[in-house]
């Protein structure tokens, strides 16, 4: 793990903190609908974007050392519609996907250091069910942002989300083309999603109060753009190998790089899920929430 | 395989107001009220609530903690023997609600579960608690999760009145059942044997059965059409059962069709729900020109009276079976004066050993084999045993209901999905040994989640093979094992003793007598059962409440 420290850029940070404190105070508790955050937080909508000339960037790579366990083949014979959509080789599990030493499907995000709020996007992130698989397998969404779950298959899927800090849901989609939209109200890394009809289908969703997250692609790379200058803890989460973290200090215009190296030895590591966010419980081991985390708590 | 959840939560924090810790708005409004309260010097409404919560906590510790755990996390000392596991109140994930999927239950929802219990699970009703106590207990349960404070009271969904059903509704409901693919889990005949049933898990990754829709008395949210319909809209949170509300909103089905489905599901139960207290199987004498049915599918069974005997897990001897798959058996019998044919049918979603259910078997073993006995990792067959004494008992004394004893052995008709039918005797659980030269014949079939086995034997016995005589009440009991539910040996579903009575042969000249005889015989059986129950000790397996 390598940390790239760069020059600080204090004035902008101070301004950002002040602005954040201002809007955070304006955010009241929204007691509306219970279904994963119908109401929007005014503070999050109004949060100013980071001015282009003070933006910083993070580039990262997730590597894997050792021999990765072989992906198991998935027996889809009970669902011919889906089985027919795969040519040889047959579909395989996506729990551990390593290409040329790079680990895919790692959720990488800023876990602490962001002392301001960010606008909540109104455009939905999409989770698709295609050929009896979730696409993507790991994804992120902002708290309060719509999550559109689509069924592209002509078979029944149910979407069973079982968060801890948020309320879950379990929705039946018996028809192709159906889209269900839900929101998660508060930060939570990660929320498991599963289809009970097809026991092999699972996905994970990371919910954050800011847009600085990414999921490692086939080449293991991640990117987070437009961060305000500051010092950040960057955490990586993998469904089988657990969490790793790194820190970066960014000044305006900087591009820092982070790298995480998972190894075969980490198999069986504790994989935290659904860390409930209750301030009186925040110990050293839990994610340090940004100062305005309460705004999203409904 | 899912990851672990971090469970360190507001342990030790003042429970009744735990939510206020975590919540800006709640805490702020409390603070803003403080001056007023200080001036008024009055008791807060929340102070009264705190009182309720304290009362509720006392009740909880007395009645609930054994299963639900001291901290409400569903991990009490008894929890590891239960499937489904007791509710974890700190997560506020409640199955039976009147609210939308993922929403909190109303106070009324929780109180209803306390009052009536959840059939099909180990949760009994608590009518011993009065309304006020139930309210206090509910207040305490709500204090165990910060969600109630954070989200405020939920809204119940609005439910229409049932439109009335009828033949057309049933036919439409049958189509909706297919359209919504209910059969994926619940099976084509509704017996919980769909292709996805073996891999179903609940929110704790514990195996969970798709409801057997033909046994509505085990529906944990109630079995009326209204209650069934309600669950289509709410879903059963924490289980694989989703809400159909989104499908309704998307126009996949309309409101009337969802009602039709509710009527259809209710119609899957046997037309004649097993009447309680029928302890005697009346074995009819067929007419001289008829033949005894050879197999389970023979038409001759259609007109024969069915008897239902509930079963529960064998929990008196180790290793115990707390959550057997088989909830009871249907029994029918006919004889022709020289031979008896007994048909025993029971619901079992797997035709063990079925490789598709091996995953289920591993999960169940992992969940329930907590007593240190080795897990059965090999494939196990399904089994059934019909138990008789070796001779007609004099007086009321019968062999010990769990396979007898050295002094009073039992005689068994056994069936096994791998080896077929054989006769045995036993002198206690786990001692059954075959009798030479079996005189027992039979056939078995499995279809859509149900086994049916027909046993045939001559009425006349020999040695330890009991003779069955017309008009004489012969004790009978049943055992069932679902191999793919990791049931083997003493891990079985068992019944208590009942009776079989052969109808007396009807002379051509007598048409009135049979009815009278039957009444007398049945009365005699009931008398014997009652008398025997009064005198019986250790026969409580049927009442242990674990028959989930």
Pairwise CA distance, residues A75 & A91, whole Å: 8
Q: What is the DSSP code (8-state) at residue A132?
A: S
H or E element that contains B293 = none
**Angle, CA A82 vertex, CA A79 and CA A85 arms, to 5°:** 145
How many residues does this entry show for chain B?
Answer: 548
B10:A155 CB<8 A: no
Contacts of B8 in chain A (CB under 8 A): 281, 283
Which CATH number characterizes residue A271's domain?
2.60.40.420
Question: In total, how many domains does chain A have?
Answer: 1
Domain regions of chain B by residue span: 27-151, 167-267, 280-543
Burial of B433 (0-12, 13-18, 19+ CB in 10 A): exposed
B242:A158 CB<8 A: yes
B450 and B347 Cβ atoms separated by less than 8 Å: yes
The residues near A88 (Cβ < 8 Å, ≥ 6 apart) are none
What is the token pair recorded at B107? Answer: 């106070």
Residue among A35, A281, A295 minimizing CB distance to B102: A35
Q: What is the CATH number of domain B27-151?
A: 1.10.760.10
Pairwise CA distance, residues B131 & A42, whole Å: 42
Q: pLDDT tens track of chain B, all 548 residues?
A: 444 444 333 333 333 333 233 333 333 344 444 444 444 434 444 545 777 999 999 999 999 999 999 999 999 999 988 999 999 999 999 999 999 999 999 999 999 999 999 999 999 999 999 999 999 999 999 999 999 999 999 999 999 899 999 999 999 999 999 999 999 999 999 999 999 999 999 998 999 999 999 999 999 999 999 999 999 999 999 999 999 999 999 999 999 999 999 999 999 987 656 666 678 999 999 999 999 998 999 999 998 999 999 999 999 998 888 899 999 999 999 999 999 999 999 999 999 999 999 999 999 998 887 767 777 778 999 999 999 999 998 888 899 999 999 999 999 999 999 999 999 999 999 999 999 988 899 999 999 999 999 999 999 999 999 999 999 999 999 999 999 999 999 999 999 999 999 998 655 544 555 565 566 666 666 666 666 555 544 433 333 333 33
Residues 32-51 of chain B with CB under 8 A from chain A are none
How many residues does this entry show for chain A?
Answer: 298
What is the ipTM score, two decimals?
A: 0.81
Pairwise CA distance, residues B455 & A82, whole Å: 43
Same-fold call for B167-267 versus B280-543: no
Q: Name beta bridge partners: B329.
A: B309
Residues B250-258: contacts with CB within 8 Å, 24+ apart? B250/A175, B250/A178, B252/A174, B252/A175, B252/A178, B252/B179, B252/B180, B253/B176, B253/B179, B253/B180, B255/B160, B256/B163, B256/B172, B257/B172, B257/B173, B257/B176, B258/B176, B258/B229, B258/B232, B258/B233
pTM for the full predicted model:
0.82
Pairwise CA distance, residues A253 & A155, whole Å: 49
Least Cα separation, residue B185 to chain A (angstroms):
7
Give me the sign of the Cα torsion angle A9, A14, A19, A21: positive
Least Cα separation, residue A31 to chain B (angstroms):
6
Contacts of A295 in chain B (CB under 8 A): 24
CATH of B280-543 among 3.40.1390.10, 2.60.40.1190, 3.30.420.40, 3.30.540.10: 2.60.40.1190
β-pairing, A125-129 vs A147-151, is: parallel
Q: How many Cβ atoms from other residues are within 10 Å of residue A159's Cβ? A: 27
CATH of B167-267 among 2.40.50.100, 1.10.10.60, 3.40.50.970, 1.10.760.10: 1.10.760.10
B227 and B86 Cβ atoms separated by less than 8 Å: no
B15 and B139 Cβ atoms separated by less than 8 Å: no
Q: Is residue A85 assigned to a domain?
A: no
β-pairing, A230-238 vs A242-250, is: antiparallel
Q: Is residue A77 assigned to a domain?
A: no
B519 and B501 Cβ atoms separated by less than 8 Å: no
β-pairing, A125-129 vs A134-135, is: antiparallel
B103:A167 CB<8 A: yes
Check CB contact of B146 with chain A, cutoff 8 Å. yes
Among A182, A221, A228, CA closest to A205 = A182
Cα distances (angstroms) measured from residue A141 to each of A182, A183, B395: 11, 9, 74
Check CB contact of A35 with chain B, cutoff 8 Å. yes
A278:B10 CB<8 A: yes
Q: Name beta bridge partners: B11.
A: none
Contacts of B201 in chain A (CB under 8 A): 196, 199
């Amino acid at each position: 793990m390598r940390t790239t420290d760069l020059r600080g850029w204090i004035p902008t940070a101070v301004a950002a903190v002040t602005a954040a404190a201002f809007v955070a105070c304006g955010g009241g508790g929204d007691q509306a609908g219970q279904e994963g955050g119908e109401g929007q937080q005014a503070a999050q909508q109004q949060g100013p974007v980071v001015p282009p000339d003070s933006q910083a960037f993070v580039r990262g790579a997730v590597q894997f050392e050792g021999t990765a366990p072989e992906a198991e083949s998935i027996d889809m014979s009970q669902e011919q519609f889906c089985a027919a959509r795969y040519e040889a080789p047959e579909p395989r599990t996506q729990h551990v996907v390593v290409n040329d030493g790079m680990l895919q499907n790692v959720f990488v995000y800023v876990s602490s250091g962001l002392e301001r709020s960010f606008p909540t996007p109104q455009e939905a992130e999409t989770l698709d069910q295609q050929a009896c698989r979730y696409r993507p397998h790991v994804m992120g969404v902002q708290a309060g942002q719509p999550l559109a779950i689509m069924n592209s298959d002509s078979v029944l899927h149910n979407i069973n989300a079982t968060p801890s800090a948020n309320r879950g849901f379990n929705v039946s989609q018996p028809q192709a083309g159906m889209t269900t939209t839900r929101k998660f109200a508060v930060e939570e890394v990660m929320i498991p999603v599963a289809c009970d009809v097809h026991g092999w289908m699972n996905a994970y969703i990371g919910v954050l109060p800011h847009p600085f997250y990414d999921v490692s692609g086939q080449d293991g790379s991640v990117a987070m753009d437009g961060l305000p200058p500051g010092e950040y803890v960057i955490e990586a989460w993998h469904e089988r190998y657990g969490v790793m973290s790194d820190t970066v200090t960014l000044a305006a215009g900087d591009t820092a790089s982070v790298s995480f190296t998972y190894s075969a030895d980490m198999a069986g590591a504790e994989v935290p899920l659904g860390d409930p966010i209750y301030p009186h419980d925040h110990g050293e081991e839990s994610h340090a929430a940004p100062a305005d985390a309460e705004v999203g708590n409904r | 395989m899912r990851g672990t959840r971090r469970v360190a939560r507001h342990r030790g924090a003042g429970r009744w107001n735990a939510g206020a810790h975590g919540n800006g708005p709640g805490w702020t409004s409390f603070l803003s009220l403080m001056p007023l309260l200080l001036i008024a010097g009055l008791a807060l409404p929340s102070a009264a609530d705190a009182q309720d919560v304290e009362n509720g906590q006392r009740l909880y510790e007395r009645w609930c903690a054994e299963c639900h755990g001291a901290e409400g996390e569903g991990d009490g000392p008894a929890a590891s023997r239960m499937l489904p596991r007791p509710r974890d109140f700190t997560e506020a994930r409640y199955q039976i609600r009147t609210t939308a999927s993922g929403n909190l239950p109303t106070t009324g929802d929780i109180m209803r579960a306390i009052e009536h219990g959840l059939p099909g699970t180990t949760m009994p009703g608590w009518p011993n608690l009065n309304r006020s106590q139930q309210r206090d207990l509910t207040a305490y349960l709500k204090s165990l999760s910060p969600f109630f404070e954070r989200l405020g009271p939920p809204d119940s969904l609005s439910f229409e009145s049932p439109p009335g059903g009828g033949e057309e509704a049933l036919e439409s409901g049958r189509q909706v059942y297919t359209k919504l693919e209910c059969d994926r889990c619940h099976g084509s005949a509704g017996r919980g044997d769909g292709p996805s049933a073996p891999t179903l898990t609940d929110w704790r990754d514990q195996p969970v059965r798709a409801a057997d829709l033909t046994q509505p008395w085990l529906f944990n949210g109630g079995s009326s059409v209204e209650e069934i319909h309600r669950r289509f809209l709410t879903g059963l949170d924490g289980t694989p059962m989703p809400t159909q509300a989104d499908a309704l909103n998307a126009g996949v089905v309309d409101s009337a069709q969802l009602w039709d489905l509710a009527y259809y599901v209710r119609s899957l139960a046997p037309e004649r729900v097993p009447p309680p207290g029928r302890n005697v199987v009346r074995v009819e004498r067929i007419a001289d020109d008829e033949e005894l049915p050879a197999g389970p599918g023979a038409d001759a069974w259609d007109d024969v009276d069915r008897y239902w005997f509930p079963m529960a897990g064998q929990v008196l001897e180790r290793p115990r079976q707390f959550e057997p798959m088989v909830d009871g058996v249907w029994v029918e019998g006919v004889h022709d004066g020289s031979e008896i044919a007994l048909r025993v049918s029971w619901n079992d979603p797997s035709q063990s050993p079925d490789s598709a259910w091996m995953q289920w078997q591993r999960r169940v073993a992992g969940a329930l084999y907590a007593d240190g006995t080795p897990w059965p990792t090999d494939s196990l067959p399904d089994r059934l045993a019909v138990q008789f004494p070796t001779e007609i008992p004099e007086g009321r004394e019968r062999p010990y209901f769990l396979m007898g004893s050295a002094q009073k052995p039992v005689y068994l008709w056994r069936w096994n999905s791998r080896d077929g039918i054989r006769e045995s005797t036993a002198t206690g659980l786990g001692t059954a040994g075959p009798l030479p030269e079996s005189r027992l014949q039979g056939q078995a079939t499995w279809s859509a989640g149900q086994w049916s086995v027909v046993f045939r034997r001559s009425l006349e016995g020999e040695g330890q093979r009991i003779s069955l005589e017309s008009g004489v009440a012969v004790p009978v009991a049943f055992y069932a094992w679902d191999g793919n539910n990791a049931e083997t040996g003493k891990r079985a579903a068992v019944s208590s003793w009942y009776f079989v009575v052969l109808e007396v042969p009807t002379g051509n000249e007598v048409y009135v007598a049979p009815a009278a005889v039957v009444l007398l015989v049945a009365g005699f059986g009931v008398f014997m059962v009652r008398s025997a129950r009064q005198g019986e000790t250790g026969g409580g397996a049927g009442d242990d409440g674990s028959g989930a």
